[in-house]
Structure 1
């Protein structure tokens, strides 16, 4: 069973192609399951479309869901299309986001921390001039946010849980093992999966999210894993799928998971 649960398309303003392009690419790549999970609108913002290069307008969200459901039926019997969304996690707005998702039949929701203290995790300038003590504080805060996202009950999957290294590879060397372990224990307790996200290869860090050492600790703590290419162009669908599967088996995982109607489906590795 081959699946890819993390994909984007043109609605978010920074990806190529429409939803059907990704479904066709998944068929060509031999996928059995393809999840559509574009960036959530900024539901708590006063404006309908405050960041056109980041996420879809709030007014477009229902149309997004309708399109995925239509394509789910169109491709039934050829490939399973899952309705997902990659949701930002802002603790102060969690109830707003939760209510926005309630009317729709999502198969899964990916919860991703993209901002901490109001700054993008991909903004490498946020680290300039910080002492090691302050860097540790920022990394610990990031993992506290990830733990909160698991505890929110909103998500089946947590996205790219060390993506702060994306444009700042030295992030991985900032010591915060206890905070990472605490987050992983919380994730395991809450029954949420983490993704192996292969889009890190498109960033300065040049590797998957999360790193092998985090995956090893996730395995130790009994955290479920899934796969997401985080494709922003159809050609990246299923990128490194076989390599990820092999690596997970080497680490000690016996299975990985996907979600249908928010129910966990385990697939042997």
Structure 2
């Protein structure tokens, strides 16, 4: 099975992963002990171009000098310095200010919505919140939060666009309609859109975002990054065999890479 997965992934050369969290979900200082397992795992999995994107609420642990040394020690890999900027009601204001101060030191900034007011809807045990209001109302509120995130700026790419589906709750009709305005706005702002395998290991059991959203984004000319949203080195490049099949199905043949916020598109050319 492992050999089959490796063959399928290499057939379309999925070599990038632009969503990784060495800190996990706690404040940890960047040093070799924290970062070395990530470069080792990326190398073993054939991921040659990747971005470290810890949550902005833990920005105090980001040490640019330690990151620079680690990148130099792994110069066979292309490692990008990034951050994930979300809408946490307690920390996002400070996170935006940190990104603004350090914009030139960063290669890549993800934007995401993890909160509806003070409700961290995607955390374990929070699925009960979806039964308290009509699902259509929750999706409308989520769409508004996404648009506010894009309008706030200081991001290069939108992460897991339909994260709100994480527990499998969704409107019965017009799923794409809730995301149309944010897709158009993202195109206007020249943002990329992440295709994430993380949903396959969540209760919803499907990639982020939905295929209908990906088709619409492709029609709009929005470029895509690839991501695992790894919170452990073991998740780097996870389910990239399934991702390869999804990209082939949708006719997505290039991937967006970033350096100092400058984007370039690279073909996912067949290997061998």
Where does residue 55 of structure 2 map in the other structure?
A: 39
Where does residue 213 of structure 2 map in the other structure?
A: 214
TM (normalized to structure 1)?
Answer: 0.82
Deviation at 1:206, TM superposition (A): 1.3
* Pair 172,68 (structure 1): closer, same or farther in 2 beyond 3 Å: farther
The structure showing larger relative contact order (alpha-carbon pairs under 8 Å, at least 6 residues apart) is 2
Deviation at 1:198, TM superposition (A): 0.8
The SS at the match of 1:120 is coil
Which runs of no fewer than 5 residues in structure 2 stay unpaired? 1-12
The SS at the match of 1:85 is strand
Alpha-carbon distance in structure 2 between the residues aligned to 1:267 and 1:106: 21
Once superposed, what is the RMSD of the aligned Cα atoms? 2.4
TM (normalized to structure 2)?
Answer: 0.82
Indicate whether 1:251 and 2:245 are aligned.
no
The one-character-per-residue Cα deviations of 1:173-200 (angstroms, maximum 9, x if unpaired) are 4645333111111111111111111111
Which runs of no fewer than 5 residues in structure 1 stay unpaired? 42-55
Alpha-carbon distance in structure 2 between the residues aligned to 1:264 and 1:66: 24
Kept in 1: contact 2:24–2:231 (CA 8 A): no
Alpha-carbon distance in structure 2 between the residues aligned to 1:98 and 1:3: 26
* Pair 267,91 (structure 1): closer, same or farther in 2 beyond 3 Å: farther
Where does residue 48 of structure 1 map in the other structure?
A: none
Where does residue 198 of structure 1 map in the other structure?
A: 197
Kept in 2: contact 1:229–1:238 (CA 8 A): yes
Alpha-carbon distance in structure 2 between the residues aligned to 1:147 and 1:91: 16
Where does residue 164 of structure 1 map in the other structure?
A: 164
Indicate whether 1:5 and 2:54 are aligned.
no
Kept in 2: contact 1:27–1:79 (CA 8 A): yes
Alpha-carbon distance in structure 1 between the residues aligned to 2:50 and 2:182: 28
Alpha-carbon distance in structure 2 between the residues aligned to 1:59 and 1:14: 7
Indicate whether 1:154 and 2:154 are aligned.
yes
Deviation at 1:94, TM superposition (A): 6.2
The SS at the match of 1:102 is helix
* Pair 203,99 (structure 1): closer, same or farther in 2 beyond 3 Å: same
